[in-house]
Structure 1
Amino acid sequence: MTLGTRPPDAAVVGAPPPRRRPGGPRLALRLIRTGPVFMLLVIVAAASVLSPVFLTTRNLGNVLAQTAVIAVLAVAQLLVIVTRGIDLSVGSTVALAAVAGALVFEAVPSATVVVLTMLGTGLAVGAVNGVALVWGRLPHPFIVTLATLSVAHGLALWLAGGQPHRGMPGIIQVLGGESIGWLPYSTLLVAALALLVLLLTTRLVWGRWIYAVGGNPDAARRAAIPVNAVLVSVYVMSGLAAGIAACITAGRLNAGSPTFGELAELDAIAAVVIGGASFLGGRGTVTNALVGALMIGVIRNAMNLLNVDAFIQPIVIGVVILIAVELDVIRGALERRFQVMQAVAA
């Protein structure tokens, strides 16, 4: 070493390079994963600025009541989409279950019998979907659920004679149309159902099976996971959710009508996709599905408050769905990139 030169740094020569702290990528991942919640907050902020009525407790109660049916259907639709499926029949099932409940109430004025009829109708349609898909070896759930959509809609029209039937038990009316102060009872039902599904998917083996089947069905079969039973179970859950949604809808309007649930399946699917679930399966959370449902409900409520033309509203909803899905695609790409950065940093 010559005079005046600096001795080599031991940390540079002998020691390995310092490890980068993974805190940055981890924080970025957490921020990215809150994308649906962030979009909802932006929409709420915009609605509150454009309409001073929006944040009143009365209007918030209306938003929650109007979103309850979509939220119930979305929570169950999430399970179907996570397994790489889709259920197009839930809207018609809502109508069929409501009509069945109204007709039973006319003959047997028993709240228990009516509720069991509505829930049983939903379960029956869901079971038909699952069994036909699995043991009928149909190529895609789109086909079987499209068929049951048509059958359920036709049955609802035939049984009701094309007309709504008035009258529902008191418990149904309370559940669908009344509230505690400004908080609707239907919101409490949505919260209970969401909590139940959250526990089922995070605390039970069945929940892990659902994500495994959606992530890689062939690997799930090799791992001895009962794929067929899992698929049937998620469609049964979706049908049951349609029965619950029928109770809420029939309670709000004190009737059973074959027009109930029109396009509700599309709202539920849109809510799940806006919430970040993937049609490729294996991804999606209950919380984000609820956020997606709330987003749709808030947008519709804001447009009503702002007197947006009824013919324009579907266009706005469609554009928002496209934007939300595109943002989710970008979010997914950023998430994968930061996951790689986090792995390298670790």
Structure 2
Amino acid sequence: MNRLNSTNPVVKYLKDNIGIIIALVAMCIFLVAFPTTRTTFMTGKNIFNILRQNASNLFLATGMTMVIILGGIDLSVGTVIALSGCVAAGITTAMGGETAGAQAVAAVAGFAACIVVGGLVGMFNGLIISKTEIPPFIVTLASMNITKGIALVYTNGAPIRCMTDAFKFPGAGYVGPIPVPVILMLVVFVIAVLIVNRTHLGRHIYAVGGNAQAAKFSGINVEKVKFLVYTYTGIMAGIAGMVVASRLYSGQPTAGDGAEMDAIAAVVVGGTSMSGGSGRLGGTLIGVLIIGVLNNGLNLLGVDSNWQYIVKGLVILLAVYVDFLRNKKAGR
């Protein structure tokens, strides 16, 4: 029986993530027990609201997990949300259409362009990072400013409104009782898990993150791995931009501000080491839920938004400190 439990993936998952699972459960118990949030937190409407609002964070966090396992960072994903969303709204409104069919075609074209924009920014980051010795922090910081500037120039600093039903569907639509972003979130997560756990690329990501030089000597194309991971992260940011723009019924040049911080927080809280080489998407999923419940709980408690930044900053610091202690104990 013990041997069966040791190889059971569910049992292993619970053991590997017991600390953050306890933290998530404790937060939920507090919000259920607290008088102010007792009747509002644990409702179907609010749970779906948490998942819908944090779908975009999961998209970013799946890519960010791979990047951080690789030993890098991507600060540009937040501004890619803004730029890709603005492009999607701009193309959709420019194509227009009087009939529902024409509007759907316009929305599909806009969303396709949205994902392409994200992929292009990711390729730009991946190409420079893989071909040069410039630190990923500097490269993605530069692309963050570039993409933000392009979004502001493209929109003249004003939102691009788009109110068609087809445009609103990915971010605000439903399939039965389930919000579309929640369905997209599950699909993206499953695909990311398969990439990391069932492909050569996934194994190579861990190898490069653990020791890039050794990975290169073993025959792994380190440059290709870095390029693909940053491209994937850009595509995820493009999809997040699509969902955010759709939910807001507009492309906003300021959308996604600070989104990279929430994604990094979710990844680190989920147990991925900032030193690279270790981490699991299963932990990232719980990290996204923790950040989502934290944001939702603070809002329900009426905590001022300025204080919320302080709380989230402390959570990130605590998670990094725990990671430091874990690495120190492991002798890394």
1:197 aligns with 2:192: yes
CA contact (8 A) 1:172 1:248 kept: no
1:294 CA drift (Å): 1.2
Retained in 1: the 8 A contact 2:273–2:323? no
> What residue is the counterpart of 1:100 in the other structure?
87
- The unaligned stretches of length 5 or more in structure 1 are 1-20, 338-346
2:76/2:140 contact within 8 Å kept:
yes
Letter paired with 1:130: G
Q: How many angstroms does 1:108 deviate by?
A: 1.7
**1:300 match:** 295
> In structure 1, what is the equivalent of residue 203 of structure 2?
208
Equivalent-residue separation in structure 2 for 1:103 and 1:29 (angstroms) = 43
| Counterpart check, 1:75 vs 2:71 | no
Q: Deviations over 1:53-77 (max 9, x none)?
A: 1001111111111111111100111
Q: Which residue of 2 aligns with 1:41?
A: 25
> Distance between the aligned counterparts of 2:16 and 2:184, measured in 1?
30
Letter in 1 for 2:287: G
| 1:111 counterpart (107, 113, 117) | 107
Separation in structure 2 between the aligned mates of residue 232 and residue 200 of structure 1, nearest angstrom: 15
The superposition leaves residues 21-55 of structure 1 with CA deviations (integer Å, 9 ceiling, x where unpaired) of: 999x9999963542222211111111221221100
* More displaced 10-residue stretch of structure 1: 154-163 or 181-190: 181-190
Structure 2 distance, partners of 1:87, 1:315, is 22
Secondary structure, counterpart of 1:214 in structure 2: helix
| Corresponding residue number in structure 1 for 2:116 | 120
Does the aligned pair in 1 maintain the 2:162–2:250 contact within 8 Å?
Answer: yes
Per-residue deviation, 1:168: 5.6
Residue of structure 2 in register with 1:15 after alignment? none
Q: Is this contact kept in 2: 1:57–1:182, CA < 8 A?
A: no
- Secondary structure class of the residue paired with 2:74: coil
Is 1:278 matched with 2:273?
yes
Is the Cα contact below 8 Å between 2:63 and 2:232 reproduced in 1?
A: yes
Alignment TM-score, normalising by the size of structure 2:
0.89
Q: Distance in 2 between matches of 1:322 and 1:297?
A: 17
**2: CA distance, partners of 1:158 / 1:28:** 50
- Number of residues of Structure 1 aligned to a counterpart in Structure 2: 315
Provide the residue aligned with 1:150 in structure 2. Answer: 145
Distance 2:324 2:274 in 1: 12
Tell whether the 8 Å contact from 1:138 to 1:144 is kept in structure 2 after alignment: no
Tell me if the contact between 1:211 and 1:282 (Cα under 8 Å) persists in the aligned partners: yes
Separation in structure 2 between the aligned mates of residue 145 and residue 308 of structure 1, nearest angstrom: 32
Determine if the alignment matches structure 1 residue 325 to structure 2 residue 320: yes
Deviations along 1:235-268, whole A, 9 cap, x unmatched? Answer: 0001000110011101111100101100001111
Please name the residue that 2:47 is paired with.
60
TM score, norm. by length of structure 1 = 0.85
Matches of 1:310 and 1:208, distance apart in 2: 40
Partner of 1:222: 217
**2:221 matched to 1:234?**
no
Q: Can you list the C-alpha shifts for 1:1-26, whole angstroms capped at 9, x where unaligned?
A: xxxxxxxxxxxxxxxxxxxx999x99
Alignment equivalent of 2:282, drawn from 262, 279, 287? 287
Does the C-alpha gap of structure 1 residues 295 and 30 become closer, same or farther in structure 2, counting only changes over 3 Å?
closer
Query: Higher mean Cα deviation, 25-34 or 221-230?
Result: 25-34
* 1:168–1:146 Cα change, 3 Å: farther
Give 5+ residue unaligned stretches, structure 2: 97-105
The 8 Å contact of residues 32 and 331 in structure 1, kept in 2 or not, is answered as no
CA distance, structure 1, for counterparts of residue 175 and residue 13 of structure 2? 38
Q: Over the residues paired in the alignment, what is the CA RMSD in angstroms? A: 2.4
- The Cα shift of 1:327 comes to 3.5
Instruction: Find the residue that maps to 1:228 and give its secondary structure.
Output: helix
Is contact 2:172-2:247 (8 Å) kept? yes
